[in-house]
Structure 1
């Protein structure tokens, strides 16, 4: 076996790898050289410098595993790797402590004005009165996103004798209680109550600019806000105005809407502490990441199964051809369900109908459905191996069933999610492409792709027109419309594919219509 280390990783990981295979370290390899030589290797270990697009992966005829010594895999064409039968693994747990500690560093530096006091003192000044700070003790920490990193921040703030409250619509209350956190159903409750707010959510269409002008006006004028998660969750223009106008007291950022952030007006202000996306950059984190991914490669080379698989377990060509289409459908169904459900899922019922029951991979299908459900709402990647563990930690019980009745189709997969507010179900099949053919029992014919919109409404004249009019007023074009109903004048459902995502204000206007009971946006 032969492995290429294409980016600088900790030496300990390389030493471990050398025990089982030949290792070539070339941390300056060019894209052209990589394209020419990739076919020689069984494994490649990278960080963020090396890019693995489809044209490189296509040449990787011997490659069995791509190991990313870190969390993000934006520099890897995961779909191309999956089609080639190549595992993609990462090291999601390596940075949790490091990012949590950096968050604490920003909090302390801001609340005690350490950064500007340091600058002043080194300039030969002695401005003690200018740098009056505050204690963390008895302050309320508000956490937006209670995943691996958010929970670590809570642990550290508890040591400072802080109270902790949180907003995470996908975290069951009993799990939050065990963490010592008071969970709120509305983000507004956290924003208005918290003295210090820290963000730990992924960047999605739903979370992008979720902290903007309206949210800053809700906060205390003594509040501090911090983001070590993803740039774009905070609207930087709105943050600038809030800091300048005294709507909040201060902020700390490690991530930005545009990076590298070398020309940002926030840098002009003294009441914000800024760092250049270094929250995960510690010797320990980089060491751990190198060891973790090296061990993943070693496990595979010794015939075992790595645990941090981003795509799916390795399959031979015939197995891949049999399952790949259904895996795509499973991921789409999961993503559709989680975005269409407004409160935490506590029970998941999955039914496999028809020909799919002849395949040996139903466990993998279930795990892929969970990936689709969890990835839009968690801060770190959920994969085929850890999906059931993450679901259990979030209090989701899972029931699987099989049926011969596929209602005229070769195969149907039904996913029903139960929450405290009710149930949402979707059924899909694969007919040359993934299709959703039932939603909440109503027959539809939907391609789960792009900007989508779902509305539940009363099936009376004028209801559909009223919804369409609202989109017309927003200058948003409807590409495809599907409707289903149980009976004339009863409840009906509408699923639209839109040319662009509507604003939150537009969705609210539709939800406020007399005959509409619910409405939500999805991005697939």
Structure 2
């Protein structure tokens, strides 16, 4: 067995590989050289330099696994790998401790004014009174997003004798209780916290999650730390809050534009700034190398790795048969997750028509869960870990099948259930994914881009009122679908629009007479 290490990784990972395989380390390999030699290898390990393109994968006749020694896999064509039955893995857990520790460093640096004090001393100044700080002890930590990294930050802050309050609308109360933390809504967390740390993914839902309104809620001496993703904090609003001493300080490792050249934030003494290095430690690089080496070893021994980013290996014929429904199921899961109110407790997946007979429903159900979870969690969710993560979040999964596919060859129905709401969406593949039913309403919707759903009373002028409100705010409508149970009863409207609808516009629509609810989606 032969493995190529195409980018620099820690030697410990290479040593582990050498115990089971012939290892070729060529960290200067060119794209042309990789293309001409990839057919020799059962496994390849890369970081970010080497591009594992479709062209490379098509030449990789022996390749079983592509391993990325890190988190991001933008340099790997996952779809091409899946089509050829090649597993793609990464090392998401390698950076959890590293990012958590950097978060603590940023918190302490902001609280004790370490960065500007260091600069002052190096300028031959001695300004002790200028750098009066605050302790972490007995302060309240507000955590926005309680995933792997958020949990590690909480563990460390408890050692500093801090109280902890968490905003995570997808974390069940039972799980939070087991973790010994208190859950609250975002407004409460912002209002009572002395330090706020952010650990959520950047999605349409979390874009500018912390903006002017949220900063005004915070205490005047509060600190906010973001080592997650740029764009979650509105930097213009943050500049105004910091420059006017509306909050005590901020610490950023990530930015809306990277590098943040020319950002007015960088002129402020109450901002701590680092260049997106929260995951950059020797230990993290070592752990990433060890993790992916162990994943490769597992595959070469005939086992199944745990950090697989694409589907479990199936033969090419089977993949071609289910490929259209893999994409559909992911979109249905995401659609249901974004449309329902409250914390999801249960997901039901029903396969109709020919799909009710496929032996690969497990793969499709995993893909539904991937769609449900991926837009709300910063940690990557894939087909392998989706059921486990769903279980950890207190989400139960049930599967069903029926021969009745309402005139379609096959369809899939996904139903999400919370304590307060139920939402179902059904789809099929008509050359492209199509949604054919939402709750009890028949529709014909292409699930992609910026979307809008509204529930309203079916009375004359209701549709026009909603459209007018969007038009007043320069929201252009691309397509429209409406459905109703009976004339004059309840109805639903589904729109595609040219841009994301701002939260304040959504609120205005919800406040319209005869409108029950309105939600924006990104697919």
TM-score by length of 1: 0.97
Within 5 Å, which residues of 2 pair with 1:256-271?
256-271=255-270
User: 1-side partners of 2:309 and 2:289: how far apart?
Assistant: 17
Q: Work out whether residues 474 and 506 of structure 1, in 8 Å CA contact, stay in contact via their aligned partners in 2.
A: yes
Identify the range of structure 1 (82-91 vs 298-307) with the bigger mean alpha-carbon deviation.
82-91
Aligned CA RMSD, in angstroms, stands at: 1.5
Q: Which residues in structure 2 correspond to 1:79-118 (within 5 Å)?
A: 79-118=79-118
SS of structure 2 residue aligned to 1:346: strand
Pairing of 1:251-290 with structure 2 (within 5 A)? 251-290=250-289
Q: Which residue of 2 aligns with 1:179?
A: 179
| Aligned residues of 1:455 and 1:493 also touching (Cα < 8 A) | yes
Which runs of no fewer than 5 residues in structure 2 stay unpaired?
Answer: none
- For residues 261 and 24 of structure 2, the distance between their equivalents in structure 1, rounded to whole angstroms, comes to 35
Question: Greater CA deviation, 269-278 or 73-82?
Answer: 73-82
SS in 1 for 2:197: strand
Per the TM alignment, residue 122 of structure 1 is displaced from its structure 2 partner at its CA by: 2.6
- C-alpha separation between the residues in 1 aligned to 2:80 and 2:267? 43
Residue matched to 2:71: 71
1:77: Cα distance to partner? Answer: 2.6
Match of 2:410 in 1: 411
- The answer to whether the 8 Å contact 2:5/2:44 transfers is yes
Task: Report the secondary structure of 1:377's partner residue.
Answer: coil
Whether contact under 8 Å (1:71, 1:380) holds in the other structure is: no
**Paired residue secondary structure (2:276):** coil
C-alpha contact (below 8 Å) 1:94/1:288 kept by paired residues? yes
Counterparts in 2 of 1:157-168, with a 5 A limit?
A: 157-168=157-168
Equivalent residue, structure 2, for 1:401: 400
2:60 aligns with 60
Moved more, 173-182 or 147-156: 173-182
- Please give the alpha-carbon distance, in whole angstroms, between the structure 1 residues aligned to 2:462 and 2:41: 60
- Contact 1:3/1:21 (CA < 8 Å) preserved in 2? yes
CA contact (8 A) 1:195 1:222 kept: yes
Moved more, 60-69 or 97-106: 60-69
What is the alpha-carbon distance in structure 2 between the residues aligned to residue 290 and residue 414 of structure 1?
41
Q: How much does 1:177 deviate?
A: 1.9
Q: CA deviation at 1:83?
A: 2.6
Cα contact 2:342–2:421 (8 A) shared by 1: no
Equivalent position SS for 1:500: coil
Question: 5 Å matches for 1:381-392?
Answer: 381-392=380-391
Pairwise mapping of residues 182-221 of structure 1 onto structure 2 (< 5 A)? 182-184=182-184, 186-221=185-220
**Shift of the alpha carbon at 1:363?**
1.4
Cα pair distance change 1:57/1:500, threshold 3 Å? farther
Q: TM-score, normalization: structure 2?
A: 0.97
CA distance in 1, matches of 2:262, 2:2: 43
Shift in Å, 1:455: 0.6
Cα separation, 2, equivalents of 1:380 and 1:52: 23
The aligned residue for residue 149 of structure 1 is: 149
The answer to whether the 8 A contact 2:340-2:421 is kept is no
Residue by residue, what CA displacement relative to the aligned partner does 1:198-228 show, whole Å, maximum 9, x if unpaired? 0000011111111112211111110100001
Shift of 1:36: 4.0
Following superposition, the deviation at residue 262 of structure 1 comes to: 4.3
Counterpart contact for 1:164–1:180, Cα < 8 Å? no
1:120-165 residue CA offsets vs partner (Å, 9 max, x unmatched): 2232222211111111111111111111111111111111111111
Q: Secondary structure at the match of 2:435?
A: strand
Distance 1:292 1:516, change over 3 A: same
Aligned length: 523
Q: Secondary structure at the match of 1:154?
A: helix
How far 1:11 moved relative to its partner?
0.7
- What secondary structure sits across from 1:17 in the alignment? helix
Counterpart CA distance in 1 for 2:147 and 2:53 is 30
Where do 4+ consecutive residues of structure 1 move more than 6 Å?
none
